[in-house]
Structure 1
Amino acid sequence: MEKSGYGKDGIFRSLRPPLRLPKDENTDMVSFMFRDSSSYAHRLALADADSGEKLSFREFKDKVSLVGSGLSQLGIRKGDVVLLFSPNSIYFPLCFFGIVSIGAVATTVNPLYTAMEVAKQVRDSKPKLIITVPELWNKVEGLNLPAVVIGGDGCHKRLPTSPFISFSEVLTMGAQKNPPDVIIKQTDTAALFYSSGTTGINKGVVLNHRNFVAAALMMTSDQELKGERHLTFLCLLPMFHIYGLGFGAYGQLQRGNAVVSMGKFTFVRMLEVIQEYKITHLPLVPPIVIAVAKENIVARYDLSSLKKVMSGAAPLGKDIMEECAKRIPQAAVTQGYGLTESCGIATITFPKERNSHFGSAGTLVPGLEAKIVNLETGRSLPPNQSGEVWLRGPNIMTGYFNNPNATKMTLDKEGWLHTGDMGYFDDEGGLFIVDRIKELIKYKGFQVPPAELEGLLLTHPQIVDAGVIPLPDLNAGEVPIAYVVRTPGSSLTEKDVMAYVAKQVAPFKRLHRINFVDSIPKSSSGKILRRELIAKTKSKL
């Protein structure tokens, strides 16, 4: 095997020590998370930067058990889906782990979603129960599903239309009875995270207990190697997303690290929280790393506790990483790459590569294999040649929920996940992502599927055709813009179209520019030729 991890069979393998997964088939992710916790029962597990609440590992474990027991008394059984619709708080992990501890399946929704977008996910995942917060109630009250409202005590007056109980009532019910004895296998489904995958429509990514356990061990293998424990992670990444929940919360809690959650993000508040809680590890998305590199206010705060700043969810350029490293000289600035379909992890910067590998998304985590495949010939490529990134390992999803066609297109018979990302490995095994075959627009780390916006535009009576593409943007990474064909004689303006879309989608999906054209370029099979639209836009810049 070469220094890059490349083998004669065309497969890149991890250069890190091997992965050791639990042998017992009946290991669920929650009991695995608490496997050592009695030895650090009094240490901080969770803190809420917004409310100031804190839980030790013992309290955290007890509360998860109460939530599981309470939910089972509400009739939730193994395999039932529960929808979690809430911003970050100390309650988010309690609910998520409570759900999966009894063998039920958690599905998470972006709090920014409109009622229409939430309803779509409800139709697909068919949850038996919704867990939400009072301020999001208006988006789910029309679904006529039973609900648990976090912080819903005393707000019965405001929430009259559906059977719901408060979260504290669930805990009270949980205390009256032990949680049920359920046998949960590693192969049982734990969660459905919705992602656009390699094509434009949102699909439920089926992740089982084994995926989470494997990914958690992969994410923390460097801590294991260095003997690090009881670090403090700031989780301002949304926990409805696999990066926030898998890497920011579960991966760290199972290692005995403390997780400080932040629900309402402002840049200044983030700096205050780092100072206040002596945060050691800071997982971020590129727009926030850019702010750390460029905002002068950073110098006013004591960030000396930081050991590591990690970036993920979208590629981050070498220059920004260098600037950020100058701002926080004692911390390593690293980057990782993963997908919802790989349970949030694939590569991460290796400690010994500290600040020498800027621009790379890091090297393969233990237990994961990769191929770089030429799309024309289907052949595996050696280092320094670009092709589609394929991944295989115990963290890879089992498929898309109720969608055998999409699964077949993304996961092949040999277990390779075709990521839809173009990239290459260098001679040292560092992965560089150069482009996306898939058409997703990445706005501040959020996924914006062009197909969804095109479908919405076509519902306007004065729009005949539409194509949506990304426009590079310094702050957001990319913003969605549209090419629109109006009906003959229509006086529709750019403002009209933007307002029409804005009313129906989350803020990050809003269109930033409209170009009116006579026709949208398409292939013979009717597919929109986005590359032509992108080229057209570039020629005007």
Structure 2
Amino acid sequence: MSFKSPFPDVEIPDVSVYDFLFGSLSDADRDRPALTDGASGTTTTYGQLAAQVDGVAGALAARGVGVGDVVGLHSPNVPAFAAVFHGILRAGATATTINALYTAEDIAKQLTDSKAKALFTVSPLLPQAKAAAAQVGIPDDLVIVLDGAEGHPSLRDLLGQGAPAPQVSFDPATHLAVLPYSSGTTGRPKGVMLTHRNLVANVCQIVPRMGIAADDRLLAVLPFFHIYGMTVLLNAALYQRASLVTMPKFDLVEFLKIVADQKCTYVFIAPPVAVALAKHPLVDQYDLSSVHTIFSGAAPLDNELGKAVATRLNCAVRQGYGMSEMSPVSHSIPFDRDDVALDSVGFTIANMECKLVDPGTGEEVAYPEPGSGKISEPGELWCKGPNIMLGYLGNDAATAETLDADGYLHTGDIATVDADGVVTIVDRLKELIKYKGYQVPPAELEALLLTHPQIADAAVIGVLDADGEEVPKAFVVKQAEADLDEDAVIAFVSERVSPHKKVRKVEFIDIVPKSAAGKILRKDLRAAEASAKA
């Protein structure tokens, strides 16, 4: 017996993302500000954005890009991101959004796996993007640099063509809109196949719970290339005709300045930003009184930390939960519910049902009777709904491990549910490390460490640093007579991975604990780490 959302189902229109967001654009809407560059204050109206989306779609169609093709989008948060992202979808192509911190090797892996035909980037990221494109055979004329670079088309060039947007036809329920990459519950990044219906559904499901209004000014510092920023910020805000204020990367001073200057009302963050808002003395130097809500996601938010932010900023604080594989939101504390504990992830959203399954026995846990005030035993959270992915691109085995025959996504997270339907994530079944909201697969770092000639064996787990942030820690077994210290190991990894994947701590040990089958027993390392701190 599953438990369902306490909220009534919402209607999900059977349309493309473009028609959903821009099909009903009124004359009054066209003059509203859609995007504002946080640094310069330059504003793009909804009318201008819609015209840019059509222009990008037309230019792509003129270059032979359309239904069945994949286009890479490698950019931080700038207003042009929205035009390109939705232009790709408008052309009938599929957007694979690429982490702006990725190295050339990381980019090339994603371009290869997704079979991308073209790539959009920005000039500061061009060196690694160009190297990756060359490696996978994407020609320079299909590497489009938004702000311009010699030898490459720019966004202005594409829009200047004036090519009409193509007439495309596809089934929103099966046609892929986006291919973000996620490590899922285990292993290396995999392409998450999300359809137009998946994205449309999730916006319809979350809008009633989040309370985004047309007069809101939302700070967009969470990256649009990540599914959280893509759905909760970019698409939901545009659907509600709200205004997005973009920031390319987080910097506390710039963050505070933009919120104050642009009078941002709704701010979406990850927990590390909450730490700064609760504790940093700089916060008191800025007028943040325009903010009515802070919404946290991407990693667990502590109840006391959430309360500290709410008190200091005199605003509401809310938390949600999701995964790329769920487009991404499955649970949220509603904007109008002050009685829900901040360390919970709130209620199951509309049109979804969930199960909690004992990972040891495979049996579904018993749920408390409504009104009993009780809490269930913990179990792995399984979720089902119209926002669940089709599967992992070209990886039937991984899909079968994550999606069952009944359509339930096995999240890999351990949760409880109380008698009112409030869900709390209590532990992580999967081994992923979440550093500042980014997923870091331990196996990837372990494989890299083992390429060092002086390292005999290695294991990686997530540990908390002084700020309470989960960071990768390597347990290293040195080769006999190896001359290796902590700094050397950290430098070795740092030179070969994206910044968020760096090993931050190292401990030398005699042997890596493993099962009889050879699987690293990370739980033993975590237990030893906890014991050492006790």
Q: TM-score, normalised by structure 2?
A: 0.94
- Aligned residue for 1:283? 268
Would the aligned equivalents of 1:347 and 1:365 in 2 still touch at CA under 8 Å? yes
Note the residue ranges of structure 2 that are not aligned, 5 or more in a row: 369-374
For residue 48 of structure 2, the aligned residue among 47, 56, 59 is 59
- Aligned residue for 2:145? 150
Would the aligned equivalents of 1:388 and 1:420 in 2 still touch at CA under 8 Å? yes
- Aligned residue for 2:427? 435
Give the deviation of 1:140 after TM superposition.
Answer: 2.4
- Aligned residue for 1:14? 5
- Aligned residue for 2:90? 101
Would the aligned equivalents of 1:42 and 1:56 in 2 still touch at CA under 8 Å? yes
- Aligned residue for 1:217? 204
Distance in 2 between the 1:302 and 1:227 partners? 22
Give the deviation of 1:358 after TM superposition.
Answer: 2.1
Would the aligned equivalents of 1:462 and 1:492 in 2 still touch at CA under 8 Å? yes
**How does 1:292-441 map onto structure 2 within 5 Å?**
292-329=277-314, 331-354=315-338, 356-381=340-365, 382-383=367-368, 384=375, 385-441=377-433
Give the deviation of 1:321 after TM superposition.
Answer: 1.0
Distance in 1 between the 2:338 and 2:147 partners? 46
3-state SS in 1 of match to 2:180 = strand
Distance in 1 between the 2:490 and 2:255 partners? 32
Distance in 1 between the 2:273 and 2:336 partners? 25
Would the aligned equivalents of 1:334 and 1:355 in 2 still touch at CA under 8 Å? no
- Aligned residue for 2:185? 198
3-state SS in 1 of match to 2:230 = helix
Would the aligned equivalents of 2:209 and 2:333 in 1 still touch at CA under 8 Å? no
1:315-340 deviation line (CA, Å, top 9, x unaligned): 111101111111122x2110000111
- Aligned residue for 1:178? 164
3-state SS in 2 of match to 1:72 = helix
Q: Which amino acid in structure 1 is aligned with residue 476 of structure 2?
A: V
- Aligned residue for 1:5? none
Give the deviation of 1:446 after TM superposition.
Answer: 1.2
Give the deviation of 1:477 after TM superposition.
Answer: 2.1
Distance in 2 between the 1:258 and 1:184 partners? 30
Q: Structure 1 residues 356 and 152 mapped into 2: Cα distance closer, same or farther (>3 Å)?
A: closer
3-state SS in 2 of match to 1:298 = helix
For residue 480 of structure 2, the aligned residue among 473, 488, 498 is 488
Distance in 2 between the 1:526 and 1:171 partners? 56
Distance in 2 between the 1:103 and 1:474 partners? 47
3-state SS in 2 of match to 1:483 = strand
Structure 1 residue 207 and structure 2 residue 194: aligned? yes
Q: Which amino acid in structure 2 is aligned with residue 536 of structure 1?
A: A
Structure 1 residue 455 and structure 2 residue 443: aligned? no
Would the aligned equivalents of 2:145 and 2:155 in 1 still touch at CA under 8 Å? yes
Distance in 1 between the 2:43 and 2:196 partners? 27
CA RMSD of aligned residues (A): 1.6
**How does 1:27-106 map onto structure 2 within 5 Å?**
27-38=15-26, 39-106=28-95
- Aligned residue for 1:501? 493
Would the aligned equivalents of 1:338 and 1:344 in 2 still touch at CA under 8 Å? yes
Would the aligned equivalents of 2:130 and 2:143 in 1 still touch at CA under 8 Å? no
Give the deviation of 1:483 after TM superposition.
Answer: 1.0
Identity rate, percent: 41
| Range 115-124 or range 375-384, more displaced | 375-384
Q: Which amino acid in structure 1 is aligned with residue 166 of structure 2?
A: P
1:242-299 deviation line (CA, Å, top 9, x unaligned): 1111111111111211111111321121122122222111110001011111122222
1:437-471 deviation line (CA, Å, top 9, x unaligned): 10011111111110100011111122221100111
Would the aligned equivalents of 2:384 and 2:408 in 1 still touch at CA under 8 Å? yes
Distance in 2 between the 1:89 and 1:523 partners? 47
Give the deviation of 1:148 after TM superposition.
Answer: 3.6
Would the aligned equivalents of 1:333 and 1:355 in 2 still touch at CA under 8 Å? no
- Aligned residue for 2:510? 518
Would the aligned equivalents of 1:70 and 1:172 in 2 still touch at CA under 8 Å? no
- Aligned residue for 2:112? 123
Would the aligned equivalents of 1:216 and 1:252 in 2 still touch at CA under 8 Å? no
Note the residue ranges of structure 1 that are not aligned, 5 or more in a row: 1-9
Distance in 2 between the 1:261 and 1:17 partners? 33
Give the deviation of 1:473 after TM superposition.
Answer: 2.3
